[in-house]
Amino acid sequence: MIRDKSNYVKILLSVFFVVCVILPLIRMFANIDAASYHAVVDHPLFGTAVGNSLKAASLATLISVGLALMLSFCLARSNMRLKNMFKVVLTLPMLIPSISHGWGLTLLLGNNGILTKWLGLSEGIHGLTGIVMGSVMYSFPIAFLMLADVMGYEDASPYEAADVLGIGKVRQFTGITLPYLSKPLISVVFSVFTMVITDYGVPMMIGGNYRTLPIMMYEEIIGMGEFGKGSIYGIILLMPAVAAFIIDLLKKEQSRSNFVNKAIKPRKNVVRDMVCYLLCALMCLVVIFPIAAFVLLTVVKRYPLDMTLTLDHIEKTFNMDGGTFLVNSLIVSFAVAVIGTAVAYLCAYCTARTHGPLSRALHLVSITSMAIPGLVLGLSYVLFFKGSFLYGTLAILILVNSMHFFASPYLMIYNSFNIINKNLEDVGATLNISRPRILLNVLVPQTKDTLVEMMSYFFVNSMMTISAVSFLANRNTRQLSLMIRQFEGGRLMECAAFVSLMILCVNLLVKTTVYILKKVLKKNKAR
């Protein structure tokens, strides 16, 4: 007999995750047959696609992580001013879909791109070069935020001791900084590699004839309805994500050391600061150029033939149901933000504030979505839910996005709960105060900032995603981000650019609201 009432909640949540994550994956595995396997493996382009995917993902990961490390070092170890402004600009690419990055590079450096013509280049960057550049734009902000956060908490004491001992800066970097960053770097490298190798947005827009596995999977399912072959590709794409998940999990289990949080105060160095300014400014320009191209194409009649200012492209976008798809995106994103946050919060409370085998099992199930690429999750939902009352509705888009982006917000609040005094529930039981009252009256007020960040994360990612929803959306439920491919296919470049701008503006508005709200909460907490 179950004595702890919280176990009922944990069982209910476990069943929910089994139905929404585990069973769809099992259904996808069950869809595999020998004929589909041989059709995929024996395809003349399969080996080439595998090699192309590994090559593009490796190059993009190397460049993205290198840039992120360099720029996070600039912010953490210099006396630059306007650091917050640089940080905001450098993370703008994470507010638009990956397909927009490929589209932006096509506008700038494609065969007929803006910069291609201005610079007099003989040809564009379609192929490996374009995929790597677009993937770096897409993945860099994530790597940058992860490393900037880690470097912001590095302890100054080892460096002070090294200065006293007369150890030079180079040896300090190799002997202190790199060992400190080694474990976070493993997470960053695997996260970026997984993002890039499972993405089809950038290769679709600027890859040209350079075939990758996600593109082949997308064409098999969307173009030919070959779900058996799609399942084979899905399992192949699942492998690097699962490997990254396991390695990251083992690393976190082994990493138990704590650092004394004595902030590093950079010494005065004008040359270093000027170099940091230059590097950050150059990267900001790289980030801003595609966005500027979107604006230019949106507001002129026809670049470069007619530069007259106009609102015709905005009107055309809305006449082609852009307003309807915007509303769909807003409904899905808001619902995911509310429902996803509520489920993640309750789940984290059960796993962080209660004990037992059920808690550990629920925690493991809760973070499994980190190991499932969006394309794979979307395909598994098609196979599992097809024919059900959910299929073809906004509800299934809400559900798949909630599961796709669940792990990160869950871990945010899970970590917050672990910091708060764990004796609250025991004291409450002594005073006959129930867990729900402690949760609502004590824990929720203490974790308001995290709650706001969780909702922001769910909303922004749901607003711009193209992966899982590609297989599930229909004409009535299509989200705004999926219109970019539609407009590009119809040679409506200006409308595609405007759609990217709309997504960026909505997400910027949400991020600004979150920033203001957190400041208000901080002021109220200080009173």
pLDDT tens, residue by residue, 367-379: 877 778 888 899 9
Q: Is 377 part of any domain?
A: no
Q: Is 447 part of any domain?
A: no
Q: What CATH number is attached to the domain comprising 242?
A: 1.10.3720.10
Q: What is the pLDDT of residue 344?
A: 93
Using a 10 angstrom Cβ sphere, with 0-12 exposed, 13-18 middle and 19 or more buried, the burial of residue 81 is exposed
Domain span holding position 135: 31-284
Q: What is the pLDDT of residue 342?
A: 94
With both helix axes pointing from N to C terminus, report the angle between 227-254 and 23-30 in degrees, rounded to the nearest 10. 130
- The pTM assigned to this predicted structure is 0.86
Q: Is 453 part of any domain?
A: no
108 neighbors 289 (Cβ within 8 angstroms): yes
Q: What is the pLDDT of residue 337?
A: 96
Residue 466 one-letter amino acid:
I
306 membership: H or E segment, kind and range: strand 306-309
Q: Is 69 part of any domain?
A: yes
Nearest to 190 by CA among 116, 249, 234: 249
Q: What is the pLDDT of residue 252?
A: 56
What residues in the chain have per-residue pLDDT under 50? 1-3, 253-260
Residue 135 one-letter amino acid:
S
Q: What is the pLDDT of residue 258?
A: 46
Q: What is the pLDDT of residue 315?
A: 92
Q: Is 498 part of any domain?
A: no
> What pLDDT, in 10s, does the model give residues 29-72?
888 888 888 888 888 888 999 999 999 999 999 999 999 999 98
Our count of domains for the chain comes to 1
302 membership: H or E segment, kind and range: strand 300-302
Q: Is 406 part of any domain?
A: no
Q: Is 475 part of any domain?
A: no
Q: Is 310 part of any domain?
A: no
